[in-house]
Structure 1
C-alpha cells in the first residue's frame, strides 16, 4: 500500500517547517510572500493561505497588514501553544500528561536502540543523573533541571525530530507538577527516582529494548505515586485547616494540631 500523497496545504506547511528548522527563516524573520510560495511550490494561492492560517492558529506565525507573515516561535514552542490551548479548554490531570510521556518515551528508547546509541549519549545521560544527585542534596527542586534534560536527551537519541519536538513540549507542562511535588520530596523518594534513572541508562547501554521500556514504565509509575502522594498530602492539610477554623479553634491551637497531623501523615508517605 502506497503512502498517501501530501496535499498542497501539507506541502506548504512542511516547506515552512523546513525553513524554520534549518533557521533559513529565524524567529522574527519574514516568510516568503503568498505569491512567492505559490510559484516556488507550484500550488494554488488558496492552499498557501490555508497553510499560513493553520500555522498562525497554533501560534507559530503572526501576521500584520502590509508586512506578510513572520515566524513567532519555533516548532517546539508552537506545539506548546497547542497543548496550552487544550489545557485552557479542558482540565488536564498530571496523569494524562504522564501517560502520554511514558508512551512516547518508551518509543523513543526503542528507536534509539534500533538506530544505535553512542557512548557519548550514555556519558551525557550519566552526567545528568550525577548532577541531579548533587543538586538534590542541597534542594530537590534544583535537580529538576537535570531530570528534564535527561528525558529530553532520550528523545533526541531517537533521531525522530517530530517525536523529539512533542516530548520537549510535553516536558514543559509536567515540570510544573514535578516542581510542586519535589518541593517536599523525601530522601528515600529521591533515592528511588535516581535509581530508576540509572536503570534506564543501564538498559539503554546494553541495547535491551524490552528492559528499557520496562524501566521507563516503572520510572513513571514511581514518579506518579510521588506526585499523587503530595497532592493527597496538600488536600488533607487543607481539609484539616478548614475543619479547625470552622470549629472555632484559636490560631495557636490550629498550629499545634495541624503540625501534629501533618507530621503523622508525612511519616506515612
Structure 2
C-alpha cells in the first residue's frame, strides 16, 4: 500500500504515461483540475502536488490564467544551416559512407512512424501548419530558388510532420540525429534538386505523404514516407 507521501509521485507518473502514449500531447493544455481529479480519482491537493513535481521536472509548465501545458521537450526545430567545413559531423559523413547509409536506415523507420502517427493524431492546428509548409515546398521559383532554398523548405516540411505525430519519445529519437539530418539535407541538395526528374519525383512523394495524413490514412502515410527515403537513396546512388 503506497504511503500518502508517495501518492503525488504516483499521480505524476500516471500523467507522464498519458503524455508518452499520446493521450496528452506535447504543447497541449492539460485538462482542468476538476477533470483530472475525476479521472485519476485523487484529491485536489494530491493533484496539485503531482503537478508541482511535473513542473520541477520540466514536463509541464504553468501559464498564468490559462492552466498547465505539456512542454515541447525534444523539440525538433531544425537548425537550418550548413555545417562548417571540417566539422566532426561533416568529416564523419565524408569519411565513413556507412554512416550515411545507417542514417537513412534510421530515418526511414522513424519518419515512417512519424507519418503514421501524424495521420492519427494531427490536430487542426497541425494540419494548418503542415499545409502551409507543404504549399511553400511545392511553390517553386526556379529563377531565384537555389538548391539550398529547396533544402530549407524540405526541412520545414519534415519538422511539421514530426511535430504532428505528438510523440515525445519519437521526437527525442529524431532530435538525437538532428545535426546529421540537417547536414545530409544541405550537403545533398545540389544533387537532389539539380535534376528536374528528381525534383518532380520528390514533389510527388511529398504530396503523397501530405495527402495521406490529410485523409487520415496512417498505413498510406507510412508507406509514402518510407518510399520517399527509398527514392532519395536511389537518387544518390545513380
2:153 is aligned to 146
2:189 is aligned to 182
TM-score by length of 2: 0.56
1:255 is aligned to none
Aligned length: 160
* Structure 1: segments with no counterpart, 5+ residues: 1-10, 25-73, 78-82, 230-269
1:121 and 2:123 aligned: no
Q: 1:112 aligns with which of 112, 118, 127?
A: 118
Q: Which one has more relative contact order, counting CA pairs under 8 Å at least 6 apart?
A: 2
Q: 1:226 to 1:20 in 2, by over 3 A?
A: farther
CA contact under 8 A between 1:94 and 1:174: conserved in structure 2? no
1:218 is aligned to 227
Q: 1:102 aligns with which of 108, 113, 121?
A: 108
CA contact under 8 A between 1:189 and 1:226: conserved in structure 2? yes
Q: 1:188 to 1:171 in 2, by over 3 A?
A: farther
CA offset digits 1:4-32 (Å, max 9, x no partner): xxxxxxx9xx98996355579xxxxxxxx
Aligned partner of residue 108 in structure 2, secondary structure? helix
* Structure 2: segments with no counterpart, 5+ residues: 1-12, 17-52, 63-72, 77-87
User: Structure 1 stretch 133-142 or stretch 200-209: which is displaced more?
Assistant: 133-142
CA contact under 8 A between 2:133 and 2:157: conserved in structure 1? yes
CA contact under 8 A between 1:132 and 1:147: conserved in structure 2? yes
TM superposition shift of 1:160:
1.2
CA separation in 2, counterparts of 1:142 and 1:215?
23
Which one has a bigger Cα radius of gyration?
1
CA separation in 2, counterparts of 1:18 and 1:226?
47
CA separation in 2, counterparts of 1:189 and 1:159?
31
Structure with bigger helix share is: 1
User: Structure 1 stretch 182-191 or stretch 130-139: which is displaced more?
Assistant: 130-139
Root-mean-square deviation over aligned CA pairs: 3.5
CA separation in 2, counterparts of 1:136 and 1:150?
17
1:19 and 2:28 aligned: no
TM superposition shift of 1:120:
3.2
1:206 is aligned to 215
Q: 2:138 aligns with which of 133, 139, 144?
A: 133
CA separation in 2, counterparts of 1:130 and 1:22?
33
